[in-house]
Chains A and B, each alone.
Chain A
Amino acid sequence: MYQAEVHRTVSEVRLLERLSFDLTITDEAYQSEHSTDGEIRVFNRADDQVIRDREYPPAHPLGVLTGGVSGESESAYPGTTLYVGVAREPPLEQDEDAFQDDYVMKAIDVDGIPEDGVVGVDLDWDAAEARESMADDTARVATERYDISGLPNDQLPIIVRAELYRDAKRILRVLRNEEDGQRDDLRGRQQYEGQAALVLDIEHRTESGADSAPLRVEGLQVGLSRTFPQIQFDPEHGSSYDPQSRQVKWGSRTVQPGDTARYAIIGPISELLEVDRLDARLQATLGGRTLSGVTVAELFDESGESTQQWQESTPTVSEKTTITAEVEIDPSALRGESKEVSSSRITMQTTPVALFNELVKVCDRNGINITERSPPGDGTPVEGREGVYDVSGEDAGELDVRREYGDEGVVYAGMEITGRYTAMSEEAQVSTFDETEDRLVRRTKGGLDDAGRATLDIDARSADAELNSRFLSTIEEAFGGEM
């Protein structure tokens, strides 16, 4: 029986596919991308014989006499090529429709290895390398890479989702994984009152095929751009938070097919929204399974015989998929429900500063929370018109507000105030609006014709347009319907 070197040296063959998943949710972009690739890894170790065969190759007496030890043609000696037989199975079985089945098989392209054939892996050593391997007692890994393309989104083994919840009832249900309509737990709700939860879901998609291995989440690491004292994490068990580096880590866990690993960062909404950036990195593995359906069918030596004919113990063979998910989130982009955007513009005969102050009062009166404010600046002198100042660009006044409408939702609005004013009118105006009484304000309005001109631009965002217009009309009515 042929004694190839690979019989002795190869200990393990691993088929490894990698899925890198990128999810970016910021105000500018919602991007979900993935890339895939694979490789065959052959673990092999040198032994004494390997070194001996390199340092003292067998020589023919005539060859020695004529001055060379390497005189013989040794194409397959000492037998360093391993043929890795790879086969492909369709990763998804759709037994209803043959055409669909074809489609699925063709959808994923594997480039670099055959669909049904062998990959020849050269496992030759040089003597020095072999000595090193033996001295370190480490296996050398030979790698054959291949590309996987066209893996459809709906065949990814995981789905990554990020959501922001604000309602205590919802938060409790989401964290407890309860269905809607279950008995309300008032006491449980208490702890989430006034809180928001940023939830990261890693769902292990159920396959239609039979043997779905569990997903092993090795860990999740989340870095926050800022922290705050009230921050909490769920699940608390298995998490560790370092406020210094603003990093929270969750340990390993197993997710059965169809189940979801859920992680949450909890805190007051205003604090959570202040976090500009959250970077999450998840690492997980799927044992015994590849994305492309490529499997190692059998191993062969250079004589063409399979490991089953080898006298030495056969190498172990395994298949594995590793998943890395990188999620970048700007939590404010998840306020989200803000899919509907409505705008309104109000122009008044007043100064920008006066309008700003008035607006602050309107908000206070109507239960609108101001999350961020910056009053209009002094403006820049307008050329050719003495004493007139233009307030725009950097000088524009800004208000970010939030108005909650109970169970109906939340409206987020950004308001910008621009305009012009004369130096004289400014002083008068400030005192006018300092009066808290509505009556006074309305009365003085008429007399401000030459004081200036201010424009208020409002962008309201919420889950539905009706809520937006309700919000906008609140503001508009407060200014007497003047537009």
Chain B
Amino acid sequence: MMAKLKPEDLSRIAEKMRRQTLLREGAGRAKVTVHMGTCGISAGARKIMTTLLGLIDQQQVQDVILTTSGCAGLCSREPMMTVEIKDKAPVKYVDLDEKKTLTIFTDHVLGGEIVTDFALGMGSERVS
């Protein structure tokens, strides 16, 4: 059972999470997010996830954080994933399949080179 939070605990958790997910302080070198809303899953996002899990396992990659999130908005270009390399702007990839995923994993996630043919764009959305 977790301890019940007090208001001040929220910032403590937020701080801890920021350290872990922002790829600083050695938490990882790259973060790969597969967009898995209903739209992504129906377009095949689970296969992309399985492919990535297989690659990470097979090549015993230790410093890549693999995670999921919801729909990224552009349903017609699913499956989508976002690759973020430490200290670089995140890159969104669209219309994925297993073969493209393998290329992106090898070239970008491990090699650091953006696969321009499959990338939609880089950076983040405007949040108000």
A in complex with B: no
B residues adjacent to A (C-beta < 8 A): none
A residues adjacent to B (C-beta < 8 A): none
